[in-house]
Structure 1
């Protein structure tokens, strides 16, 4: 991962030159004739010179920003962006083959999520997390998700739980690949699918944000969860679905508490 220094523009607010102000001129005879011709063409459905193009670059820029954001999130999960290190938008932009602007915008989103912090005139520092913070996040997730899942276990019919089987199987395949980033996305998708049955979008959004934070690596960790750890975590998803389908509330209660206690 390349690193570099960032100029004063690294404050996070892109600077744009002030637009030039031009006074409108009085139309001449040629201008009047051209305007009439354009109007006639518009009536016939033809292209005219007065038509304004659709601002497509705005959509393209948003797409680039989203792709960079996804790439940076993957780099965070895999520790390619190392905790405590400072990265500049120009250096990362060079790595991804884009300008610094979409990188800076993506980094600002990560700052809002708590993944990085702004370092004036330098760039963005990856936040360092320790075991205590991870335990606190796991506790908060448990306080939010466990009661919801237990309530859903009493009300959601078995066929609805069965519909989540493909999502659980996706986590197993992702875990088997050994790729932490691939499993992280599949894991969050499964939990979102479960919580969505509560019909509370705010709940799903908050829980997913907390879940994402638990997936960032710890500073100074000797090792990250290996393939066997991921496979064991994914197996708990399938076991949970089995218990939910069977309406075995005791098993559901035990599984969700163990699952959150061992948050990957």
Structure 2
């Protein structure tokens, strides 16, 4: 799979390092680059229209997060997680986010207005079939929701979990269908949270995350057809 066309990162609001980090992380998590792909710092800097410094800093942060590993004199290689690891992270996300949103739903005072705008951006990304934009906006949406619950440590844990994920199969028909369902569920989730419907929130967030399991299994099976039964869980 060829890496996606990349937009120039200059002229946006974040620092160059943050822009590069956000774009590369979404590129990896979305599955647009395969495990084993090697990022060359000079080539990537030229591609993005920036100096090598923010690119190297972003890749070092991705190394800290476990998304890439350094290759002496070559660059950084995208790590290859197992199916078992991905499904375990998905389950942990479901448990932690259910806890956070259960807490948020029970709060009497909350203002989720700004999150509807992020949900709209997610819908736009799905309509345009842009998985990298989808992953970036979806990450922003979920971390903002968890942050609203007021547990800073939990936000950090969930952020780390998301950053270790790979949504393998995102660009299959099954993956696009799940993105469409996910986009609609964001609006339902916000409505239920606003109404304080704790049971409804639990049901939506549990399905919202666990429904990706079928996409991941199919995507990993397609990428690794000789995987063992243990890997396929």
TM-score (norm 1): 0.65
Query: Does the aligned pair in 1 maintain the 2:104–2:148 contact within 8 Å?
Result: yes
Query: Does the aligned pair in 1 maintain the 2:34–2:78 contact within 8 Å?
Result: yes
Spell out, residue by residue over 1:190-234, the C-alpha distance to the aligned partner (whole angstroms, 9 max, x if none): 2122112222333223212322332x344xx59546433211111
Aligned position for 1:164: 115
| Alignment pair present for 1:229 and 2:178 | yes
Q: Partners of 2:51 and 2:156 in 1: how far apart? A: 30
Aligned position for 2:56: 104
Change (3 A) 1:248 1:118: same
Q: Partners of 1:153 and 1:234 in 2: how far apart? A: 20
Whose Rg is larger?
1
RMSD: 2.8
Q: 1:91 aligns with which of 24, 34, 43?
A: 43
Change (3 A) 1:255 1:97: closer
| Alignment pair present for 1:205 and 2:156 | yes
Q: Partners of 1:71 and 1:94 in 2: how far apart? A: 15
Spell out, residue by residue over 1:43-81, the C-alpha distance to the aligned partner (whole angstroms, 9 max, x if none): xxxxxxxxxxxxxxxxxxx94433333342343245443
Q: Partners of 1:67 and 1:161 in 2: how far apart? A: 25
Structure 2 residue ranges without an equivalent (≥5) = 4-13, 216-233
Change (3 A) 1:223 1:237: closer
Query: Does the aligned pair in 1 maintain the 2:182–2:208 contact within 8 Å?
Result: yes
Spell out, residue by residue over 1:76-114, the C-alpha distance to the aligned partner (whole angstroms, 9 max, x if none): 245443211223323323433444443222211110111
Aligned position for 1:132: 84
Structure 1 residue ranges without an equivalent (≥5) = 3-61
Aligned position for 2:9: none
> Aligned with 2:77: secondary structure?
strand
Q: 1:247 aligns with which of 196, 209, 231?
A: 196
Spell out, residue by residue over 1:222-263, the C-alpha distance to the aligned partner (whole angstroms, 9 max, x if none): 954643321111111111222223333322221111112124
